[in-house]
């Protein structure tokens, strides 16, 4: 990403960002401070994402969410209080107010959009002014729109989700969260299973708010998941942050090695490039190794199912 030095001059480093700057360097910190980032959804994940962005030094944030704080949000929503729930405070307005107080950039600006959505023309046009978007929504329609923006407008979209598997008695079996960046030359959200395209029209028509329709989805095993806990929300928010300070959209493994190299004195750009090259080299061996394993597994299953096999 490049910035016009006249319109967006290189900002001066600040003491508040010293520890972060020591990890990824002056140049990367200057880029971060000149970013305009859109956070679509101010819920449990969106509030964590916005908090981290404001503290690492992002210069400007758009937060878009028309919903208000409810009592059942309080076990996961950063900055929200009982009074906010009682007063039905808008999530975007609350979030912008609180993170402005903790932001580390001098002229930090956070603009809440509480009257529109990314699925409406006004909201769609607004987010096109951002450099990168964070998809912190849990509905198929806005996810489809953000996926469309990533490829037609060449605007990177970082998306993530949380899922849990529960027993019938609601005892937890396991939980997981994942994040992905979508855009040209990358798999789209539909391909990655980020949303069910069959539910987009139902979302547009408002059927996903209809208790009778929700019950029908539950019966066929397609009910939208709403389970979440704060530790997973914040874990996902942290995972979604990786593409911002670390160039090349690295994963957890590469990020750890990159941080190690930087600690040893290797420049950040060289460290990240080395890890990308390492991933490209190892991927050459991933394909045949995976293919061989799949072949052997299928062969064993086939032999086991043949008539007369032991």
Residue 275 counted as domain residue: yes
Q: What is the pTM (predicted TM-score) of this model? A: 0.76
Q: Are residues 239 and 269 in the same domain?
A: no
Residue 100 counted as domain residue: yes
Residue 1 counted as domain residue: no
Q: Are residues 25 and 107 in the same domain?
A: yes
Q: Are residues 102 and 175 in the same domain?
A: yes
- Decide: residue 1, CB within 10 A, 0-12 exposed, 13-18 middle, 19+ buried: exposed
Q: Are residues 170 and 271 in the same domain?
A: no
Residue 221 counted as domain residue: no
Q: Are residues 174 and 38 in the same domain?
A: yes
pLDDT, greater one: 309 or 290: 290
Least confident of 13-17, 105-109, 277-281: 277-281
Which tens digits make up the pLDDT trace of 166-199?
777 778 777 777 888 998 888 899 988 888 888 8
Residue 250 counted as domain residue: no
Q: Are residues 28 and 156 in the same domain?
A: yes
Q: Are residues 134 and 271 in the same domain?
A: no
Q: Are residues 74 and 170 in the same domain?
A: yes
The residues pairing with 39 across neighbouring beta strands, listed in sequence order, are: 63, 134
Q: Are residues 286 and 140 in the same domain?
A: no
Q: In terms of residue numbers, what domain contains 163? A: 15-194+226-245
Which tens digits make up the pLDDT trace of 246-296?
655 445 455 556 656 666 666 655 666 666 666 656 655 555 655 555 555
Q: Are residues 266 and 190 in the same domain?
A: no
Chain CA centroid to CA 53, Å: 12
* Residue 221 reports pLDDT greater than 50: yes
Element (H, E) at 172: strand 172-182
At 7, the pLDDT band (50, 70, 90 cuts) reads confident
Q: What is the rounded average pLDDT of the residues 127-135?
A: 95
Please tell me the distance from the alpha carbon of residue 157 to that of residue 135, in angstroms, as a whole number. Answer: 7
Q: What is the DSSP letter of 113?
A: E
- Cβ contacts of 258 within 8 Å, gap of 6 or more: 246, 250, 268, 271, 272, 274, 275
């Amino acid at each position: 990403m490049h910035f016009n030095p006249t319109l967006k001059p290189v900002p001066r480093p600040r003491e508040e960002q010293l520890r972060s700057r020591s990890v990824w360097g002056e140049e990367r910190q200057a880029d971060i401070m000149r970013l305009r980032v859109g956070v679509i959804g101010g819920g449990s994940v969106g509030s964590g994402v916005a908090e981290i962005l404001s503290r690492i030094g992002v210069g400007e944030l758009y937060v878009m969410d028309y919903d208000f704080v409810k009592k059942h949000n309080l076990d996961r929503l950063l900055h929200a209080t009982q009074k906010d729930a009682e007063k039905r405070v808008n999530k975007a307005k609350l979030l912008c107010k609180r993170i402005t107080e903790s932001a580390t950039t001098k002229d930090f600006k956070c603009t809440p959009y509480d009257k529109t959505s990314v699925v409406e023309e006004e909201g769609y046009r607004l987010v096109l002014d951002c450099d990168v978007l964070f998809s912190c929504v849990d509905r198929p329609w806005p996810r489809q729109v953000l996926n469309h923006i990533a490829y037609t407008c060449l605007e990177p979209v970082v998306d993530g989700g949380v899922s849990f598997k529960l027993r019938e008695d609601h005892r937890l079996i396991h939980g997981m969260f994942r994040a992905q960046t979508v855009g040209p030359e990358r798999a789209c959200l539909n391909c990655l299973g980020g949303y069910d395209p069959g539910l987009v029209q139902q979302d547009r028509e408002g059927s996903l708010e209809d208790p009778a329709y929700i019950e029908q989805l539950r019966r066929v095993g397609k009910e939208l998941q709403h389970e979440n806990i704060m530790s997973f929300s914040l874990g996902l928010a942290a995972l979604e942050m990786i593409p911002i300070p670390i160039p090349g959209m690295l994963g957890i493994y590469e990020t750890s090695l990159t941080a190690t190299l930087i600690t040893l004195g290797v420049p950040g750009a060289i460290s990240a490039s080395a890890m990308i090259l390492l991933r490209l080299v190892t991927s050459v061996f991933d394909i045949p190794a995976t293919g061989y394993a799949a072949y052997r597994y299928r062969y064993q299953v086939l032999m086991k199912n043949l008539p007369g096999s032991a």
